[in-house]
Structure 1
């Protein structure tokens, strides 16, 4: 049955027309399960009903016309209960609703299962039979498994349908929704970046230009043959056994008698070269994966590799040097920091990333650059987005493709209000961050995401609360020398001569990797990262610390911060190494050059366990700094880069707020200066709560300093404490969000939630 299941799902995904895909699917299910009827209803949330879209067994003239309300009949009951419903004789069930036009009088047995994607019921899949009986457990399991697999395919098909509609009818296409990655609104044409060939990302298209597509395909095959020949020659110098025969197999598969014949047939029927290749390769993969022999079954990966290589040459052939528009929105399967660095000065106005979440590093960098971003828009066929006019709403996560004039005017007005707010907050950029009743707090910068930080001097901050030293390490092919690091750090320290600069020691692992120091782990966020790596490699740690201390000579504005601390012993070991580096350098310094300043040492509070050892840690370090992003991730057991669980990651979760309050209380008790350098500090509501908790410093990206300073200067400290007390009593993150937005409105700061709202 597994092979049957895969074939049904594959053929469904390959049909670009949803209606014909559904009709083929119900017929295949009916045949596979040897039943008398199979039907599928799709949910329409606007009309609050299920529409009969396809059936093999019910009246044909009812398809596309018959509807059942969300709370009506057995179909509605399956949707409400969100679980399978297996009934021997449906007509005697109290929820049965007789619908004459579907002509199901002879059908008795009923098995329905919901098609659910991310807690949302997309439709109902049903099989029926004349014989009055309960369907078996195996039949029910098959239908449930099929429904689960159809859910993602159905979402993708829906997206293809949205983007494939005729845009000349004057109607804007309904929005797609992702995860809000960075606040703000942007409008412009989309530029798609596709870094690698992947057949899974190909969107099926018919172009009906067979001669042109055949020429493209044949040229790509010729190029692929040359590639395989080159690979074989290069490897032949080091490999002499029969393992190189795989390249000969690849070349044979490309012959017109094999894959080539099938691809040519698909192209002649109207498919684009890329689509034809995908259809054929997918079919071959399913066939190979269904073979019992293990060796032959493994050849499916070879077929996939071959297909991706031909696709790569097709894409290279089609890739032309396009001039970028003056303003554009960047879209990619996975927007990376290097992409943002490449495009940020070329008219980049917004970000669409099909993967990732609101706390991936791409999202964090987008916020630092003031670029609206939407993450995790998983169901979008990337290729079809290219050059489309789009609106990116980074507040709600809504993505509008080809909007009409009314929607464009609405968002143009919103963009104008945002620009006006940005100008307005600049009035306080050089003023202190002090509340209306005299409570002061220091606003610092998060820096190091890019080499150009000189503009940050004018952001209105009083220092750098977090300088990420790992970024220069990432842009190299080997570890940097002590001298190179010394020059980097001196450049940063001298740029802020009268301000404190807190440098975090090398923090890699998790989702931050070095190309020359690969770390492969099943669970990297709970693995070898941060201080764990550098303590295991003191030669790396000592080199970096020596460079920092040398760079600080003559500046005396350095603080060193240790990331990912989870125990007292780690702090003791790190301080011992820092002292070693300091005394070594002190002994090397000529007497006439004066005493070498010893930097203050602090730790990041990111691992929840350290909350219960603050007393012991306070005796060892000079300051604490909360990394609220990772602290939230670990407290809630949510991978912040995983779009599937992104909705569970929330810095306003009551557990997170109460943990932050405990840290503030304990730090005050032991008189340890306390800062926070996570994303919560950049949010107006978060800044108010942290101010009221007693945090001494908040560190954020330059784009948000003036905004948060405006908020601090337009609220009373006593009012902030009242807001905090109530927020800590709430039970859900949703309640906290609603309450804070309401309070911001009451004190005249509603525009900081969203301009114009």
Structure 2
């Protein structure tokens, strides 16, 4: 039976026409169970009924026409109860409904099982027989197992648009859910784009003339650098913050010795230019995709984008002119940052990408350009979307395909309110972040990609709350020297002279391995990573600390933050090494009394749930706490937010997360320990207000979110926030928190900031 089951599922998954696949399915099940009838009903959740789509045993003219309400008949009962219903004589059951058009009068025995995907009933699979009997355990188990396996395939088919259940009159259209990339709303026609060149399609091959291949590669490098420069220059008139750094990083990577040397070495060993490029890029991509840290893992998409750009110039492909609508939503398997830069001035309204997350550079750039985006869309067949109309809701991470007039009008009102709001928000960019009743907070930015625009103070930031130091370690073939690190950190600190800059020590390890320092573990999320690896390798830790302190000399705006702390012992050992580095430097370089080296403040990241219960002990050891809300939420809820099957469970507004954050704030206040938070929660106006009510006075966020958060803060009273928080902390479900916060912010006149996110 297992072989039969596998064959049925495989054939169904490979079918290209749904109607024929369903007919084949019911025939195979009927044969496998030696029964007299098998039927499949699919759910229409807008009309709240099941439609008979295929059967071997019932009347053919009923297919696609006969429907059963969600609360009607035995089919409806199976859907309601979400479990198998096995009845010896269906006609005697109180829920039985006679439907003469399906011609089922002769059947008595009935077995129905729900087809459920992610708690959603997609359909009902039934078998029937003339003889009155209860189907045996093996038959029931077969049908249950088959339904469970069909659920994933059917969900894919549904998302691909192969199921059309008369949605034209209900005014909504099919809704596809993804992962948040950039907030906002877009209404327009979708245009599906394919990459001009794709390294994944390149078959590696040798070349006889290495000199010629080197010339081809070098020419491609020059053209690609010129393209990135042009893109960056075009966008400078629109963007003045860190978002454009991606093009500098691309150019630095191409021009850097390591990348070019590796490609050139492959060419000199006999590979042609495009094969050499593929081999090197694939190696980089593999290293980045193996990382745990989501921010760093997303760099794999940047490397792919860079590789495809170079490949396009190696192949010298001429761009095909594509007729674009005046306004359009860009859809692609991988919408890259450079693709976004190409089309942003040609009427681009929004983007939909199968790959990527809210930390991809595409998402970062989309936020800076105020272009709504959803990423990581699962089970999406791109070919089905080309030239179809859509509403893209970047707040609720939803794409409505072929929406009705009512839905379009609703979102047009939202767009009008957004345009007015953005103009107002801009006015508060350089004003203090203070509530109406005088409660002040400090708004900082998260950074760490590269120097340049990222450290611009044009966004009105009070400093850097999180500077990631991993990137200089990643884009190399060996550990960076003390001098290299010192120069980089100096540039960062000087860019924010007079304002605090908190640098996180090297946070790698586990499945976030360096190309030259690979680590393979069975459970990398809970393995050798963060502070654990740097304490095990003090030679790495000490060099970094010395570099930071030397860079801070004469500036005094550095604070050092220790990541992934899980015990007091780790803090003690880290501080011992920090003190060692400090005394070494004072002895070696700063022995003159007039030239004093300042010892920076040292803090810890609160992201491992266990340390929440050691805050009082930690308060005796460090100068400040900084909550990493992304990892803390992930560990508290045991949810990988980039896993589409469970991403909906990842929510900062979960009562356990909010109560934990409040507890941390209370303990910090009791011990008078400065407290900050860095993570997505601080990026959201709703989350920022709750954090302020809890007592967080330093919020670190994306530069793109700062003005909006500041504007909201300036339009509320602290005493009102405290009252709201008291009620929020008494709520027991995530949904009730969202609902209550939406209600309260509407009362405060701030409903436009949450109109789509919290509804």
Shift of 1:53: 0.6
The residue that corresponds to 1:679 in the other structure is 680
1:551 aligns with 2:569: no
The residue that corresponds to 1:134 in the other structure is 134
Root-mean-square deviation (Å): 3.5
The residue that corresponds to 1:726 in the other structure is 727
Deviations 1:276-320, CA, capped at 9 Å, x for gaps: xxxxxxxxxxxxxxxxxxxxxxxxxxxxxxxxxxxxx9xx99997
The residue that corresponds to 1:638 in the other structure is 639
Q: How does 1:461-540 map to 2 (within 5 A)?
A: 461-509=461-509, 512-540=512-540
The residue that corresponds to 1:68 in the other structure is 68
Shift of 1:33: 1.7
Q: Give unmatched runs, 5+ long, in structure 1.
A: 199-219, 231-312
1:576 aligns with 2:576: yes
Deviations 1:71-125, CA, capped at 9 Å, x for gaps: 1111111000001111222222222222222222222221110011111101000
CA pair 690-323 structure 1, distance change in 2 beyond 3 A: farther
1:400 aligns to what SS in structure 2?
strand
Distance 2:487 2:329 in 1: 36
The residue that corresponds to 1:750 in the other structure is 751
CA pair 389-65 structure 1, distance change in 2 beyond 3 A: closer
Shift of 1:69: 1.2
The residue that corresponds to 1:283 in the other structure is none
Distance 2:26 2:461 in 1: 62
CA pair 670-330 structure 1, distance change in 2 beyond 3 A: farther
2:519 aligns to what SS in structure 1?
coil
Shift of 1:369: 7.0
Distance 2:207 2:107 in 1: 61
2:193 aligns to what SS in structure 1?
strand
Structure 1, 452-461 or 152-161: larger mean CA deviation = 452-461
1:191 aligns with 2:193: yes
Distance 1:747 1:594 in 2: 53
Distance 2:578 2:82 in 1: 58
Structure 1, 148-157 or 501-510: larger mean CA deviation = 501-510
Shift of 1:614: 0.8
The residue that corresponds to 2:262 in the other structure is none
Shift of 1:743: 1.1
Distance 2:316 2:99 in 1: 53
Shift of 1:527: 2.1
Distance 2:521 2:158 in 1: 36
Distance 2:23 2:207 in 1: 45
The residue that corresponds to 1:249 in the other structure is none
The residue that corresponds to 2:435 in the other structure is 435
Distance 2:699 2:14 in 1: 51
Contact 2:157 2:163 in 1 (8 A): no
Distance 1:443 1:97 in 2: 63
Contact 1:586 1:596 in 2 (8 A): yes
1:104 aligns with 2:94: no
CA pair 168-460 structure 1, distance change in 2 beyond 3 A: same
Distance 2:38 2:315 in 1: 44
Shift of 1:377: 2.2
Distance 2:41 2:59 in 1: 14
Contact 1:565 1:607 in 2 (8 A): yes
Distance 1:139 1:125 in 2: 13
Shift of 1:472: 3.1
Q: How does 1:352-391 map to 2 (within 5 A)?
A: 352-354=352-354, 371-385=371-385, 390-391=390-391
Deviations 1:310-363, CA, capped at 9 Å, x for gaps: xxx9xx99997457979875655577xxx4477457627644343676688986
Shift of 1:70: 0.9
Structure 1, 488-497 or 503-512: larger mean CA deviation = 503-512
Distance 1:369 1:455 in 2: 18
Structure 1, 580-589 or 709-718: larger mean CA deviation = 580-589
Contact 1:489 1:548 in 2 (8 A): yes
Distance 2:132 2:631 in 1: 56
The residue that corresponds to 2:585 in the other structure is 585
Contact 1:193 1:330 in 2 (8 A): no
Distance 1:176 1:121 in 2: 16
Deviations 1:479-523, CA, capped at 9 Å, x for gaps: 322222222111111111111000111123467553443333343
CA pair 755-57 structure 1, distance change in 2 beyond 3 A: closer
With normalisation by structure 1, the TM-score equals 0.78
With normalisation by structure 2, the TM-score equals 0.78
Distance 2:725 2:177 in 1: 31
Shift of 1:15: 2.2
Contact 1:5 1:146 in 2 (8 A): yes
Contact 1:357 1:646 in 2 (8 A): no
Q: How does 1:141-220 map to 2 (within 5 A)?
A: 141-161=141-161, 174-186=174-186, 189-192=191-194
Q: How does 1:554-565 map to 2 (within 5 A)?
A: 554-565=554-565
Shift of 1:654: 1.1
Contact 1:367 1:701 in 2 (8 A): no
The residue that corresponds to 2:625 in the other structure is 624
Distance 2:338 2:490 in 1: 23
Distance 1:94 1:483 in 2: 82
Contact 2:18 2:162 in 1 (8 A): no
Contact 1:40 1:55 in 2 (8 A): yes
Structure 1, 511-520 or 601-610: larger mean CA deviation = 511-520
Shift of 1:126: 0.6
Distance 2:166 2:103 in 1: 35
The residue that corresponds to 1:8 in the other structure is 8
Deviations 1:341-394, CA, capped at 9 Å, x for gaps: 774576276443436766889867865775533244212114555676654211
Shift of 1:35: 1.2
Shift of 1:477: 3.6
Q: Give unmatched runs, 5+ long, in structure 2.
A: 209-310
Shift of 1:660: 1.0
The residue that corresponds to 2:596 in the other structure is 595
Deviations 1:127-183, CA, capped at 9 Å, x for gaps: 1122222222222121111111111211222233359999999x9963322344432
Distance 2:712 2:321 in 1: 41
The residue that corresponds to 1:705 in the other structure is 706
Distance 1:369 1:168 in 2: 33
CA pair 454-15 structure 1, distance change in 2 beyond 3 A: closer
Shift of 1:450: 5.1
CA pair 332-28 structure 1, distance change in 2 beyond 3 A: same
Contact 2:694 2:722 in 1 (8 A): yes
1:28 aligns to what SS in structure 2?
helix
2:488 aligns to what SS in structure 1?
helix
Shift of 1:698: 0.8
Distance 1:669 1:583 in 2: 32
Distance 2:40 2:516 in 1: 52
Contact 1:625 1:677 in 2 (8 A): yes
Distance 2:112 2:129 in 1: 12
The residue that corresponds to 2:265 in the other structure is none
The residue that corresponds to 1:665 in the other structure is 666
Contact 1:191 1:387 in 2 (8 A): no
CA pair 549-329 structure 1, distance change in 2 beyond 3 A: farther
The count of aligned residue pairs is 645
Contact 1:113 1:124 in 2 (8 A): yes
Deviations 1:432-471, CA, capped at 9 Å, x for gaps: 1111111111111111245443464111111111111113
Deviations 1:397-422, CA, capped at 9 Å, x for gaps: 22134668886676566445423322
CA pair 120-414 structure 1, distance change in 2 beyond 3 A: same
CA pair 645-392 structure 1, distance change in 2 beyond 3 A: same
Contact 1:675 1:697 in 2 (8 A): yes
1:97 aligns to what SS in structure 2?
coil
Distance 1:535 1:369 in 2: 41
Contact 1:360 1:641 in 2 (8 A): no
CA pair 162-448 structure 1, distance change in 2 beyond 3 A: farther
